[in-house]
Chains A and B, each alone.
Chain A
Amino acid sequence: MNMIEFKNVAKVYEDKTVALKNVNLTIKKGEFVFLVGPSGSGKSTIIKLLIREIAATSGSIFVAGRNISNLKFSRVPQLRRNIGSVFQDFKLLPNKTVFENIAFALEVIGKPSYMIKVQVPQVLKLVGLEHKLVSYPHQLSAGEQQRVSIARAFVNRPPILLADEPTGNLDPVNSDGIMKLLSRINLIGTTVAMATHDRSIVNSMRRRVIELEEGEVIRDQKRGVYGI
């Protein structure tokens, strides 16, 4: 089953910057995919299109078989509840503890508190931070903060997890830990797409690689490496 499908997708920003031209790709359920390419090649644009932060200029995008190209505004929250997203800058709330940060994500989608009390410790255990429940983000290392942000993205068990340069701010050791965590999440059956330009990570993982250049897919390779 195709989890993500792009059909002839183009994206031109308001200032006429052409970010994507005629992109076609499919990602199957349970796959782990790297989106690689130099800075400005359109990786983040693909992620933003998938969570409908922006809309495609032309073409169609399917998520879990549903066309999201002309999704109504009121349907966007539902889409985002089925896609966990992780970013380079973590996007944690500084005045909330680890527990509260993750609980907040559940509260605002209307989860009852008895479920929150069960789900949050569970997901923190998955990312190995069950002992940091009451710490604030500034009391954690960058790697731990990224784990919290992954925990928040995954607490709801979404079928898709998108990560935009999740190791961009991390040293190799912490990056390695994050990659192990994403692999585990992928092993549970989650479809994972990760944008990166970290050569060594891509090369060590040997997963599917989709390479972009100036808004076009120039390579799509199973068990690929960063450059040819």
Chain B
Amino acid sequence: MIFRPRYFFGETFTSLRRNFLMFFTAITTVAITLFIVGFFLIIIYDVQGVLASVKSQVEVAVYLKDNITVELKTYLENEIKGWNEVAEVIYVSKDAALEKFKTENAGSEILKEIQGNPLPASFEIRLKSPEKVDQIALRFVAKDGSYIEGVDEVIYGQNYVQKIFSITAIAGSIAFLIIIILLLAAVVLIFNTIRLSIHSRRKEIEVMKLVGATNWFVRIPFIFEGFFEGFVGRAISAVLLYFITNYLLIKGETALADTMHIKDLAILGSSNIMLYIYVGMVIIGSLLGVLSSAFALKRYVRI
């Protein structure tokens, strides 16, 4: 068979003109779908980054009584270091605590009011598994509900860590669900466009079969059509995503980087995640176009 690009392109564009509204809807759907998918992926990635950073910052602060003996302090320190869940224990002496307080509040009025050293010494415990923060904190509580000997107070992120975990888990599933629904909507719309286009060209198809056109000759214009819809849709979505990331999302990320010192971000970070997102959109867009047309053809162009 001789390949006739002019014939195929001609047929493709004729049918696109005829079904312009459907064609427009399909392209818009692909564009919006892929844009939202890309947008969600960036957000999900950054939320993961924030979460990881929050997790690594989860720590248990164990404030010690001023009158604690050196033996008891050393005993507690060794004990804590022996726990599996613990990544690191830092002892902050009363003096160190005061120094830290002074540097953190340099130039503030509050410093003038401080007499002597009211700040307690403490252990700052970083955890390997931040989810276990509750259990660790409980180990400093005696059977009667008061703190164990030598410990004045234990402070940690309380419920808020757990809440963040469950919220991100739920948000993640919802985002995933939305992505799946959007992709399905795109498939259904492209499928319908091609079906309409097959319907509007059924006489041509009948004649083609009658005079002995091969199956592929009948199918190729429709496959072009699906490919073209996927292609234009994903080009539009890439442009949209490009502007959104460079004029909007990047501001959010800059704020995150400045205030929370998060380094692993989708746009600002050093990973290739944005490249993967764009490449992924090309792949998904092509698959949407080609799969939906293949599906439509299988059902409607039996020869």
The chain A residues found within 8 Å of chain B, CB to CB, are 51, 73-74, 76-82, 85, 91, 93-94, 104-105, 107-112, 152-153, 156
Q: Which of chain A's residues have a CB closer than 8 A to the CB of B213?
A: 77, 108-109
Q: In the complex where A108-B211, A109-B211 touch, is A93 in contact with B204 (Cβ < 8 A)? A: yes
Assign chain B's interface to a size class. 10 to 19
A77/B212 in contact, CB under 8 A: yes
Q: A107, B7: Cβ atoms under 8 Å?
A: yes
- The answer to whether A107 touches B210, judged by C-beta atoms less than 8 angstroms apart, is no
A152 to B215, CA, bound (A): 20
CB distance from A150 to the nearest CB of B (A): 13
B217 and A110 within 8 A (CB): yes
> Are the C-beta atoms of A76 and B207 separated by less than 8 Å?
no
Interface residues of B in 1-42 (CB under 8 A from A): 1-2, 4, 7
Closest 5 CB pairs of A and B: A80-B212, A81-B212, A108-B213, A105-B211, A77-B212
| Contact indicator B4/A80 (Cβ below 8 Å) | no
Task: Give chain B interface residues in 119-165, CB to chain A under 8 Å.
Answer: none
C-alpha spacing A112/B218, complex, angstroms: 17
Q: Which residues of B contact A74 (CB under 8 A)?
A: 214-215
Interface check B114, CB cutoff 8 A? no
Interchain CA distance A111-B210 in the complex, whole Å: 16
| 6 sample A-B contacts, Cβ–Cβ < 8 Å, listed by A number | A73-B303, A91-B207, A91-B210, A108-B208, A108-B211, A109-B213
Interchain CB contact under 8 A, B211 and A81: yes
Interface residues of B (CB under 8 A from A): 1-2, 4, 7, 203-204, 206-215, 217-218, 303
- Shortest Cβ gap from A163 to chain B (Å): 13
Choose one: A51, A77, A91; the contact of B206 (CB below 8 Å): A91
Contact status A93-B203, CB under 8 Å: yes
Q: How far is the CA of A111 from the CA of B212 in the complex (A)?
A: 12
Residues of A within 8 A of B4 (CB): 107, 110
Most chain B CB within 10 A, of A51, A77, A79, A91, is at A77
Which residue of B203, B212, B218, B303 is within 8 Å of A91 (Cβ)? Answer: B203
Q: Which residue of A lies closest to B2 (CB)?
A: A110
Q: Which residues of A contact B1 (CB under 8 A)?
A: 110
Q: Are B207 and A112 in contact (CB under 8 A)?
A: no
Q: Which of A51, A78, A105, A110 contacts B207 (CB 8 A)?
A: A105
> What separation, in Å, do the CA atoms of A93 and B207 have in the docked complex?
8
* Distance from B202 Cβ to chain A, minimum over Cβ atoms (Å): 11
Please state if B211 and A80 are interface contacts (CB–CB under 8 Å). yes
Cβ contacts under 8 Å, A82 to chain B: 212
- Distance between A44 CB and nearest chain B CB, rounded to angstroms: 14
